[in-house]
Structure formats: structure tokens, C-alpha cells
Amino acid sequence: MPTPESPDVMPHDALIIGGSYAGLSAAMQLVRARRRVLVIDDGRPRNRFAARAHGVLTNDGKPGAEITASARAQVAAYPTAAFRMAEAVEVERIDGGFSVAFADGTRTSGRRLLLSHGVEDVLVDIPGVKERWGRTALHCPWCHGYEIGGGPIGVLGRGDHVVQYAATVAEWGQVTLFMDLDVGLSPEDAHLLDRRGVTIEATPIARLEGEAPDLSGARLTDGRFFELKAIFVGANVRVASPFAERLGCEMTETPMGRVIKVDAMQQTTQPGVFAAGDLARAASNITLATSDGMIAAHALFRSLVEEETAVAA
């Protein structure tokens, strides 16, 4: 293994852009292998709008920021861990690795790159959704459905997955699916929704009402009012940074939007570049992101060892 005293060695074995669940999970594995890791984070996790995280083993009901702070402290206890709380604005491949530029004009470099900066939710353009996002306007029934406590729930979705989405949400309340019937509904889909007790409403929602972030219901464009305790919105996502595409990584389409294409070990289509978390999968939650980070770290570590042993030979 190259030593930090070598005059031509890069300061870090791995640069991790995104210090939330996937990034910190990867960092933990790598620093336990005594690798020099820099975690770069701008402090804007996707789940910052939600008051608490649910369905996370040993951390159920804790605020996401609390979970992240605890994980960061555990990683920071290792001597080869470093953190930079700043926005990365540019990434480029250089001889021997990668260079990252920051908003203040400084740069750093590392042998491998892990992208774990997540995605941004692209919300529907309906008044009242944005100010309730993460509280009563939600995207994940597994994360927030239980806390609603039953009762009337709306589902607003787009794309081919909306029927399955509504059928799933129906486990946690009495669902009204707001959808354009002009797009068509197959007999199989109609049967599924009927068996799950889902009502379909074709008239569009004009706005959400109530004292935000609370929700009293949805006002339709024809003036009718639907009482709702919460509404699940099938928001699309976009990768929160253009780094992957600028580096030449292939992207792939999912029902939720374009994400980075990776293999089973979280390796992108570009050598030395790995991706983990929401930006590299369709289904997303804290547990999956943590698992992806661990897998990516092991693959990244193996690539370092292969390079070092090849040079030694």
C-alpha cells in the first residue's frame, strides 16, 4: 500500500461526495481497512424535510439528522477519516485518480471516487405540495404510512407505476387515487384497485388546503373538496449533481427518473467511479442506501488492492 509519506501519493484513497447514509456506510468500511477517506458533504440530505425516519432497524422514529450525526461521529473516530463540509462544484479525472473542486476555489484529489450525493425530488406543480413535503405530502408509504393512523389518504401519481403505488398505499388507509382516466386503465388494473378498495377520481386537484404543514384536504378544479389526512405523491427524481454524466458514466431509466447505471458491486461504467444510494437505484430508503454503501466500499477497496498488487508485480 502506498504510504502518506510518498512524495507522489494522492492525499486520499477515496473521495466520497455525499455524506449521508450511503456515503457514511462506505466510509466506515474503508476507514476500518485503514484507507484514507475524505467525505464531502453540503449538508442537504434528501430527507431533511421529514421530521423523523421510520422503518430503520435500531433507529426507528429518530430524526434523520440525528442518525447521520451519530454515524458521522463513529466514522470520525478512525484516524484515516476526514470530512469537508462544503459544496463540490467540479469533478474531473486526472492522472492516477480524480480531482474535486470546491465552491471556494480549493481542490483536493484521490485515487477513487464514490458518488453518494443522492437525488432531488421533482414535485408536481400543485399549490400546497411543496410546503407540506415530508410531513403530510409524502412519497414513501413504508416510511410514513403507519404514522398517518388510517383514514382518508390521497394518491397522486404519474407513469405506469401509479396503480401499484395506490394499491400499496391502500394498506395504510382509505385511498382515493387522483388520476387522468384518459390515459386508460386495463381490466387487470381496475380489478386490483377495486379489490384494494381504491376509489378513482378523474378531476384534477387545484390545490391542497389546511394550515401547512398540516393537511385538511384537496380542493378539485370543479370546486369539490376531498378530506384527506395525507397525500402520497409519486414524485420523479433527478440526480442532484451532473458529476456522473460529466465523467462519462452511463445513466439508466427507472419509473422514478434517470439514475446512474451500476453493476451488482455499485461500479459505474467508468473505471474508478462508484455510485451508491438513491442516485443509483429506483427503490430508495435508508437501509438500502446503507447496504449499497457497504457494497460499494468493498468493491472500491478491491480495486485499490488490485492496482497496488499489479504495480508491485
Structural contact between residues 193 and 163, judged by C-beta atoms closer than 8 angstroms: yes
DSSP 8: T
Residue type, 108: T
Same fold, 12-120+237-312 and 124-233: yes
Residue 6 pLDDT > 50: no
Q: What is the mean pLDDT of residues 272-280?
A: 97
Q: What is the pLDDT of residue 159?
A: 67
Return the higher-pLDDT residue of 199 and 160: 199
pLDDT digits (tens, 9 = 90+) for 121-167: 999 999 999 999 999 999 999 999 999 999 999 999 766 688 999 99
CATH of 124-233 among 3.90.1170.40, 3.20.20.70, 3.50.50.60, 3.40.50.970: 3.50.50.60
Q: What is the pLDDT of residue 182?
A: 64
Burial of 192: CB neighbours in 10 Å, binned 0-12, 13-18, 19+: middle
Question: In this structure, is the dihedral angle defined by the CA atoms of residues 76, 80, 84 and 88, taken in order, positive or negative?
Answer: negative
First and final C-alpha spacing in the chain: 13
Banded model confidence at residue 59, pLDDT cuts 50, 70, 90: very high
Q: Where are the domains of the chain?
A: 12-120+237-312, 124-233
Pairing of strands 251-254, 81-85: unpaired
CATH number of 12-120+237-312: 3.50.50.60
Q: What is the pLDDT of residue 7?
A: 37
In the sheet with 217-220, reading across from the earlier edge strand, the strands are 205-209, 217-220, 225-227
